[in-house]
Amino acid sequence: MTLNNKNLPSGLPPPITELTVAQDLKMRQLELSLNSGKAQLKDIITVFLALQKQNFVLCNSLTNLVNKWPKDRPITKEDLTMFGILLETKD
C-alpha cells in the first residue's frame, strides 16, 4: 500500500518488519544449522536466553520512549512550525 504525501500520518514511522538480504541469509544459515542435528542443546538454550533478554531490554526501551514522547503533537500544518506565524504580516 502506498500513501500519498497528503495522507502521511504524523508521528513515528511504521516499524520495518522485513529482513535485509544479509539478515535473511543469516536466518537461513541458523535454520540449517539447527536442523542438521549438530547443534547442542546447551548452545541453543544459551542463545535462546540471550535473545529473550535482548527482547526484554528492547521492549523496556520502547516503552520508555513511548511514555516520554511529547503528548501534545500538532494536528494541522499551521501548528507544525511557528516560523511562518512569526513572519506573517497583517494587511
Transcribe 33-46 into DSSP letters.
HHHTT-S-HHHHHH
What pLDDT score does 64 carry?
A: 92
Cell readout for 38 is 549438530
Whether this model's pTM surpasses 0.75: no
Q: Biggest alpha carbon distance in the chain? A: 80
Q: Where are the domains of the chain?
A: 23-86
37-89 pLDDT, tens digit each: 888 999 999 999 999 999 999 999 999 988 888 777 666 665 555 555 555 55
